[in-house]
Amino acid sequence: KPCSVGRILRNIVTKTEPIASGKKIAVVCDIPDDLPDVSADREMISRAAENLIGNALKYTPEKGEINISVKKTGERLLLVSVKDNGRGIAEADLPHIFERYRRGRNQQGDVKGTGLGLAIAKKIISRHGGEIWANSRPGEGSEFLFTLPLSF
Ligand code: ATP
Ligand code: MG
């Protein structure tokens, strides 16, 4: 099924707008509207992206900023980035955050979650032939990226 990743991302941004404005977080989108569709399960991709954007909102303090972008890379991939300037992830935790029930040591207590979101997101993206990974620096922020093959 062809689906528009740009539209999925915009829908999530609209849906989460009350959370963002409640925390005075600026959500900046770079989502071109002439992107090619991917062949994917819209509900699944939406669920994966919702966790990334939800995490960015959860782990970024008031007045932070989130940047969401999607672009074509190479010949046949879309690259989605969800970047925040929040608390970041400890170096020791970074290799484990995509494991089930794994939560970062500095996140427990104040922010609720089950530690399943990224494991599910990884399953979904892999099943669609894409990859998902993260870059982060404690105290500076995190960037989550995933690719999806273009339908052709
Ligand atoms: P759930 O998504 O199941 O409600 P969760 O958000 O804790 O719970 P994941 O989404 O799997 O679980 O994330 C795993 C861990 O990775 C988090 O507990 C947190 O420590 C860390 N993490 C994920 N995204 C971010 C982010 N944007 N900034 C800082 N830490 C993050
Ligand atoms: Mg989560």
Low-confidence ranges of the chain (pLDDT < 50): none
pTM of the model: 0.95
> pLDDT tens digit string along 4-28?
999 999 999 999 999 999 999 999 9
Residue 55 token pair? 């995490």
Closest ligand to residue 144's CA: 1
Q: 59 and 108 in contact (C-beta within 8 Å)?
A: no
Q: What is the pLDDT of residue 106?
A: 61
- In the reported structure, the alpha carbon of residue 74 is separated from the centroid of ligand 1 by a whole-number distance in angstroms of 29
Give the binding-site residues of ligand 1, using a 6 Å CB cut-off. 51, 55-56, 59, 84, 86-89, 97, 102-104, 107, 113-119, 142
Give the length of the chain: 152
